[in-house]
Copies of this chain bind each other. A is one copy, B any other.
């Protein structure tokens, strides 16, 4: 039998996996909007020139990932982030997340000079009205491209000359500052709080509206004052995999 051509070029994945990826892409692109019904198995079967079995195998994945829900007599419906159960989402891809969570990269979204309002001043350990540099970014998983946490770092303006030459710095900021500002960290203040996730972060991370987060606040203090203060907003449902990492990392000598 003449081999059917691959749906994706240069691809040796099984057919159902190729179809599954294509459909996943379409979901991301909004080709099948949230709440709508996807084409029926028969239609997909015709479009991809594959048997219903193969289509079903692809759809099975989408269901297990929580992208769609299927009902007999109705069809395959794209479900929204709000109706999606975070349980199954994280649950089904445990192994995947496991590896994914280790390799990460950080993307700076915005650098801006801001004046501290009183509340923020207390948090970062500065004075109200003082100008600080705010660096906002998102840490992503290398493989899956999923957001891990939103990060905001505040650096006093007197240290701006230290961070400015490194707009693409990937590592911990405090290391950069400690080294280049020739300062010694004397104290690290940490605080964890439960907070609603800021609205723009929700959009940024693609979370469901009303998400809340665990906020980790850190202040690195030198003898000359606060060197840097950072906020990490972790989506609450991802807290679980921080724990999982903990577990997997415990065995090898760290």
Contact = CB atoms under 8 A, between A and B. Distances in A.
Interface of A: 85-87, 90-91, 94-95, 97-98, 100-102, 104, 139, 171-172, 187-190, 192-194, 214, 216, 232, 234, 236-237, 239-240, 242-251, 254
**Residue from the set A192, A237, A246 with the largest chain B CB neighbour count within 10 Å:** A246
B194 A193 contact: yes
Contacts of A254: 245, 248
Given A97-B243, A192-B239, A194-B192, A171 B251 contact: yes
Contacts of A192: 194, 214, 236, 239-240, 243
How many copies of the polypeptide does the oligomer hold?
2
A247 B94 CA distance: 10
Contacts of A249: 102, 245, 249
Contacts of A100: 247, 250
A110 B4 CA distance: 66
5 contacts: A90-B94, A90-B247, A97-B247, A232-B243, A245-B246
A246 B172 CA distance: 13
A220 to B, nearest CB: 11
